[in-house]
Amino acid sequence: MNTASQLPAAFRLIVTGGGTGGHTYPALTAIHTLQDRLAAEGRALDVLWIGTAEGLEARVADAEGIPLKTVRTGKVRRSSNPVRMVSPANVRDMARVPLGVVQARGTVAGFRPDVVLATGGYVAVPTGMAARMCKVPLVLHEQTVKLGLANRKLAGSATRIALSSESSLPLLPESVRHAAVVTGNPVRPEVLAGQPDRAVSLLGLRFDRRLPTVYVTGGAQGSQQINDVVGGELGWLLERANVVHQCGPAHHEALATRMAGLPAHLAARYHLAPFIGPELPDVLALADVVISRSGAGTLAELTALGKPAVFLPLASAAGDEQAYNARHLEESGAALALVGEVTGDRLREAVGPLLEDPARRAAMAKAARAHGRPDAADRLVDVLLSAAAEGPLRKTRGE
């Protein structure tokens, strides 16, 4: 008897998207969640990532043991001036897209996936187009309120468009709204399992726990803007709160020098780190207020956790999406958005009332939590399985 033929067929998934963590990590979380779901049913997952050799997805796929196929593609350098869009670099890059589509089509046809998941970034376009050519179900996932450029290009070809926010629905073209479903933006499970006391222990903190704790971050590389404005108000801030500050490796020395001038009782309330790694879930659990950028991943984590936040959006973000994200939460009382030039006065006006009034923090936390979707990864997996069940390849493969 051939027992192998009786084993459940592996589910086959192609993931495409990347370039930045905002596109890459939601895809990775979806992969892990789908793998766990299938394992509980006694099934395996065969996954292939299509990306670029230079993007973050290449490093993530390698670290996770996920096979990666690369394709040629082009990046659109956006400008408010339409004339500047027709730049030599844009023309050169766009000429690569047809070759990328040919490469992606060969990969999709050869792998024969049950479904393709595209999470955005310019690398997703050739594979999304190839999915349509090969008649494979295509699921788009959008992390921000407004659809990114790649997902706008692919929306008409999608079987499902998974959105992170209800507010995205009216922004979609009417012709594709029937395909839309709100799932939220997948958040890594470990982020939701942090413990405040573990942060104190792991980081060796000597905080005054009677005071609120502020987590300041500009991302892994740090933010000059955030570091400058917080550094300028450090004495004022530490009179009112404990601070964990992820400053980025390039900014650590300057802030350490500033820290050396603090009185001992204030210095004890300040933990400066170039980078916060595995401790991040515990630091987030400890934090009463977060000062940060407003990228899609950050918003997903903070709203899932219900954390009051003061956002300083990155002005150069594509399509001004960070400012849009921050204002969207501010409108419902779920955060504060400091857009444009941020002075020390503006920071104090925003942060001060939150530190002084626990009830205000609680109200903002409740409003933030209303936007959060801690089950987003499971919802997205539901969409992937549903789309695959309707796919033509399921019949031709006899599954």
Is 394 or 66 the better-scoring residue by pLDDT? 66
> Which pLDDT value is given to residue 6?
55
Over residues 181-206, mean pLDDT: 97
Residue 286, SS3 per DSSP:
helix
DSSP 368-388: HHHH--TTHHHHHHHHHHHHH
97 pLDDT band, cuts 50/70/90, is low
pLDDT score at 73 = 76
Cα distance from N-terminal residue to C-terminal residue, the chain: 20
Q: Which two tokens stand for residue 356?
A: 């002084």
pLDDT in tens, 130-174: 999 999 999 999 999 888 889 999 999 999 999 999 989 999 999
Q: What percent of the chain has pLDDT over 70?
A: 89
pTM: predicted TM-score of the whole model, two decimal places: 0.86
Question: At which residue do the structure tokens 């792991």 appear?
Answer: 202
Residue 197 confidence (pLDDT) above 70: yes
Average pLDDT, integer, range 248-276: 94
Q: Tell me the three state secondary structure of residue 166.
A: helix
Q: Residue 33 — very low, low, confident or very high, per pLDDT cuts 50/70/90?
A: very high
Task: Kindly state the DSSP code that residue 39 receives in the 8-state scheme.
Answer: H
Residue among 27, 114, 43, 36 nearest 386 (CA): 114
CA distance 305 to 240: 23
Helices marked H in 41-96 — which ranges?
A: 56-64, 82-85, 88-94
Could you give the CA distance from residue 334 to residue 369 in angstroms, rounded to a whole number? Answer: 8
Q: Is 217 exposed, middle or buried (0-12, 13-18, 19+ CB in 10 A)?
A: buried
* Closest to 307 (Cα-Cα) out of 370, 226, 245: 370
Tens digits of per-residue pLDDT, 361-378? 999 999 999 999 999 999
Comparing 95-109, 200-214, 302-316, the range with the smallest average pLDDT is 95-109
Parallel, antiparallel or unpaired: strands 289-292 and 336-337:
unpaired
pLDDT tens digits along 118-131: 999 999 999 999 99
Angle, vertex CA 318, rays to CA 313 and CA 319, nearest 5? 90
What's the pLDDT band for 397 if we cut at 50, 70, 90? very low
Q: For residue 75, what pLDDT is reported?
A: 57
Token duo for residue 8 = 């459940």
| pLDDT average, residue stretch 96-117 | 92
What single letter denotes the amino acid at residue 320? D
**Residue 398's pLDDT band (cuts 50, 70, 90):** very low
pLDDT confidence tier of residue 321, bands split at 50, 70 and 90:
confident
pLDDT tens, position by position, 198-245: 999 999 999 999 999 999 999 888 999 999 999 999 999 999 999 999
Residue 116 identity (one-letter amino acid): V
Q: What is the predicted pLDDT for the residue at 146?
A: 86
Q: What mean pLDDT comes out for the span 323-339?
A: 95
Q: Does pLDDT of 4 surpass 50?
A: no
Q: Please, are residues 105 and 133 in contact by the beta-carbon 8 Å criterion? A: yes
Per-residue pLDDT averaged across 259-267, rounded?
94
CA angle 142/103/394 to nearest 5° reads: 65
pLDDT at res. 2: 41
Q: What percent of the chain has pLDDT over 90?
A: 81
Average pLDDT, the chain: 91
DSSP 343: -
pLDDT above 60 for 89? no
pLDDT at residue 85, rounded to an integer: 46
pLDDT confidence of residue 92: 54
In order of start, what are the domains of the chain with their CATH numbers? 3-187+375-396 (3.40.50.2000), 189-371 (3.40.50.2000)
Distance (Å, rounded) from C-alpha 75 to C-alpha 122?
6
As a whole number, mean pLDDT of residues 266-295 equals 97
Spatial distance between the Cα atoms of 108 and 118, rounded to a whole number of angstroms = 13
**pLDDT, average across residues 34-42:** 96
Q: How does pLDDT run across 46-61, given as a tens digit for each residue? A: 999 999 999 999 999 9
